[in-house]
Structure 1
């Protein structure tokens, strides 16, 4: 899912390294968070996922703080539930290993 914010095209991209980084930063399992909270992230968790996963239209990652700030703007623009869904969709697309056997 592509996002438009201030004439910037943005997307989410995850891999096993970014999942590991998110788990270190949040102190919990990505899958446990999704299962235990019905895929509804806290705002802090969303900031972390967006801070790690946001990329520009050239596929370049932002620095973490900048991506967090952009992510907060996206949450306000797109809405909480659509951004939760976008994170889940990106995880399913980019990290199918998380969902094997589930």
Structure 2
């Protein structure tokens, strides 16, 4: 295969790893949020006025964080697919370049210089 035409996948690997780390972190945040759901009677009579807003906020954050994890996982998969496409295209192009170079090397050019 021709040298110098291969795509450098290291940056894509690093990006994908960072995205997956963030997806896992967000997932852990959602799990932590689920543990923040109050048990019955957790709020005092005075604080019970805030219980509805607290529960709604916790539930919303659990949903949002779960959606973020799903989206980050999808982005990670897209980066992987992009990397695979780049590598496949580079390999195909390298093969074509090798074939072209082979054909060019078989051509005899007479420059008339003796």
TM class by shorter chain equals under 0.3
**TM-score with structure 2 length normalisation?**
0.22
Task: Specify which structure has the higher proportion of strand.
Answer: 1
**TM-score with structure 1 length normalisation?**
0.24
